[in-house]
Structure 1
Amino acid sequence: MTESRTDSAATPVAGSSTHSMSEAGAYLAVENLTVEFPTPDGPVRAVNGLSYTVGMGQTLGIVGESGSGKSVSSMAVLGLHDAKLTKITGSIRIGEKEVVGLSESGMRKLRGNAVSMIFQDALAALHPFYRVGSQLAEAYQVHHTKSSKRDARRKAIEMLDRVGIPQPDKRVDDFPHQFSGGMRQRAMIAMGLINDPSLLIADEPTTALDVTVQAQILDLLQDLQREFNSAVIIITHDLGVVAEMADDVLVMYAGRAVEYGSTKQILSHPEMPYTWGLLSSIPDVQSDTDARLIPIPGNPPSLLNPPSGCSFHPRCAHRDKVPGNLCATQLPELTPASNGTAHVKRCHLPDPDAIYQTEVLPEIAPDLVEEN
């Protein structure tokens, strides 16, 4: 379904992780995933029929507004939902192992080892009562039970040094509050990579960081991905991050995939009105200083009572262009986009290119502007 800008996803490089590959070169394969939570007002289907793949050395960017199901779907990959309360159906294959329905002890063997996650709030993710080095060492020893405390501490110092923490042999004994925001994020990356995982999920890794530190963190992730040849999923609201890092982009809305394709396809020829809204709401640094932002009207739908038909139709300015009121009555399927590539979109509009003409914004994707 996806089209990567490189062929690394299908061909592991020498020195890459020893975790096995699944079929068709995809290390992670999510098929028809549904995640449903019970609430006093009724069930909430936070993820609905989601499918995607990520290969070794490949980066997938997942974008969408808050509540679209980005983090919920990724937490399902790591088995972080309460199995007694959460109903999960579909398939999630990590390597050759099916993890939907896997026991907690089975997930613990994978979590932090074959697959790891960098959480959004590093200050909340790191325990305030324990030294940073102790937390990294613990993450290492869980999967290297024969290693000594000295070996684990040495590994923690090595990882802190690798992610750019100055004086790692001294800072290893600091508490999280003694680290700056950027340093805490680097420590979270070190913890995520300490066991050389084949799959790394980064959930808003640059949230609350200034632009200089954001750039440093993104450069670090790219450098480490090249070193470990990991498959990477980056969850973000920032299309600039996607333009810089991702090979493929998955756009989510109301728990479903609404557009999916290579980064170049999505940014230069989007065919779903929701994706148009995300791109149009980005400030244009070259426009008139008095120009207003163009927000997406309305609010995301309640997943307790989602709208009929296309979930986006109550907010879509183009629904009247589709005959027969299809947008309000019939859920569109994911269908191939008009450019004849692996790009797919969930929309009833018969000819999106006739309605929306876009230029890749140079401030978020200068390389793609030069290619076009």
Structure 2
Amino acid sequence: MSTDTGVTTGAAGAAAAGERLLEVEHLTVKFPTADGLVNAVTDLSYGVARGKTLGIVGESGSGKSVSSMAVLGLHDPRRTRIEGSIRVDGQEVIGLSEAKLRRIRGNSAAMIFQDALASLHPFYRVGKQLSEAYAAHHPKASARDARRKAIEMLDLVGIPQPDRRVDDFPHQFSGGMRQRAMIAMGLINDPSLLIADEPTTALDVTVQAQILDLLGDLQREFDSAIIIITHDLGVIAEMADEVLVMYAGRAVEYGATRELLTHPEMPYTWGLLSSVPDVSGDVDARLLPIPGNPPSLLDPPSGCSFHPRCVHRDKVPGDLCTTTIPDLSPGGRGPGHLKRCHLADPERIYATEILPEIAPDLADGAPAAPAAAPTNKEA
């Protein structure tokens, strides 16, 4: 497959297509509005293998949640234009009837939403909601069986006294307990794919760590694939095997987690890393925010969508950045690391300009950038 539109080559293609639990190819999602057509996701491709975790990171409005909701067919087809292909365990999702989509949701794939209190119905007991999720895919199960399964799942995710708390209402649970209940609901039918959309939002650091550990433990037990959507690069470093960076509805960088976080090749990724506070650095040091604002998806910029905010565009000859959308192509780290950028030598720029400013201790120990090849005259 072409490397200019997705992350289905290189390291991402290490698993054969048949081994991939989720395959998204050339996904485009648009929302017609009174002001015009919102290009929420444009030509996005990625895949996730069983037992692996893909982290999707980017600012609000980059298309992370929109693309993941499309995987479960959660967009209203009357108000959404969707193109491309989404296959969950070999089943094409786009174009399926609502009845067939309901068989996939919760059974083959499930989603944990970021606001557990808003996602749980306030008028129904937690156990009742879990039981209904189980009964929807097990019509022959009795009410007693469904309740027993709900208690079992609450126990599995670490809810104390699950046989008693199963009859509580959502407002009687703490924030961390509600998030655990949402995870229990997502896993109650043993789905092969779990999408976690900001699963640790508004939780304190200790509970965040517990939730992430729980997701890891459950993944090992069920051998499920996980997509974790987050703004937190610390969560990405902890959880993800591979990272997809999105900006303005497009994939702008992809790679194995350790490699992408230590050798990023796209200026937007540099900006995300520069915005993370260094707890070991100077307490008076200022954060380095990305200048400007995300573009309007009603009228995206011409060329590279990041060029209005990119401080490195003057390093590209001509007006490529403003006129030509760069392909998502292999960078300097090999075919498994893809970046959407016109910069010819991003690794050198990062090593000599960015890293010394955001992590001087790492820059001091980093190997020097390779010298430029000599010209014929120098040779």
TM score, norm. by length of structure 1: 0.91
- The answer for the alignment partner of 2:281 in structure 1 is 287
Asked if 1:107 corresponds to 2:101, the answer is yes
Q: Find 1:42's aligned residue among 33, 36, 57.
A: 36
* Distance of 1:132 and 1:94 partners within structure 2: 28
Map of 2:236 onto structure 1: 242
1:139 aligns with 2:147: no
Rounded Cα–Cα distance in structure 1 between residues aligned with 2:42 and 2:315:
26
CA distance in 1, matches of 2:280, 2:145: 53
Distance 2:17 2:200 in 1: 32
Residues 31-76 of structure 1 deviation map (CA, whole Å, 9 limit, x = unaligned): 0000000100111010000000000001000000000000000000
Amino acid of the structure 2 residue aligned with 1:216: Q
TM-align CA RMSD = 1.7
> Following TM superposition, where does structure 1 have runs of at least 4 consecutive aligned residues deviating by more than 4 angstroms?
none
User: 2:275, 2:330 → 1: CA distance?
Assistant: 25
Q: Contact between 1:2 and 1:248, CA under 8 Å: does it hold in 2?
A: no
Corresponding residue SS for 1:197: coil
Equivalent of 2:205, from 185, 191, 211?
211
CA distance in 1, matches of 2:294, 2:114: 21
For 1:54, the aligned partner's letter is V
CA distance in 2, matches of 1:340, 1:236: 26
- The equivalent residue for 2:267 is 273
**1:263-294 Cα deviation digits (max 9, x unpaired):** 01210110000000000100001111110000
Residue in 1 that maps onto 2:219: 225
Counterpart check, 1:156 vs 2:156: no
> Which whole-Å CA distance do the structure 2 matches of 1:254 and 1:188 have between them?
29
SS at match of 1:226: helix
Deviations 1:95-146 (A, max 9, x none): 1111111111110000010000000100000000000000000000000000
- Which residue among 187, 192, 195 is the counterpart of 1:198? 192
C-alpha separation in 2, matches of 1:59 and 1:353: 26
- Which of 2, 6, 11 aligns to 1:3? It is 11
Match of 1:171 in 2: 165
1:2: how far off? 5.5
Distance 1:123 1:55 in 2: 31
Match of 2:118 in 1: 124
- The one-letter amino acid of 1:63's match is V
Determine the structure 2 residue equivalent to 1:19.
none
Partner Cα separation in structure 1 for residue 304 and residue 270 of structure 2: 16
Q: Unaligned regions of 5+ residues in structure 1, if any?
A: 11-21, 363-368
Alignment: residue pair count = 349
Among 344, 347, 357, the residue aligned to 2:341: 347
Identify unmatched segments of 5+ residues in structure 2: 1-8, 360-365, 367-379
Secondary structure of 2:24's counterpart equals: strand
* Letter matched to residue 309 of structure 1: G
**One-letter code of the match for 2:62?**
S
State the Cα distance separating 1:155 from its structure 2 match: 0.1
- SS of 1:342's partner is strand
Partner residue of 1:78? 72
Return the alpha-carbon distance in structure 2 between the equivalents of residues 311 and 183 of structure 1: 40
1:322 counterpart residue number: 316
Paired position in structure 2 for 1:312 = 306
Judge conservation of contact 1:2–1:261 (CA < 8 Å) in 2.
Answer: no
Superposed displacement of residue 3, structure 1? 2.8
- Deviation digits for residues 147-174 of structure 1 (CA, Å, limit 9, x no counterpart): 0000000000000000000000000000
**1:201: Cα distance to partner?**
0.1
Instruction: Tell me the alpha carbon deviations over residues 205-263 of structure 1, each in whole angstroms, 9 at most, x when there is no partner.
Output: 00000000000000000000000000100000000000010000000000000001110
- Take 2:108 and 2:160, find their aligned partners in 1: how far apart are those partners? 28
Counterparts of 1:30 and 1:280 in 2: how far apart (Å)? 30
Residue matched to 1:66: 60
**Candidates 346, 349, 356, aligned match of 2:350:** 356
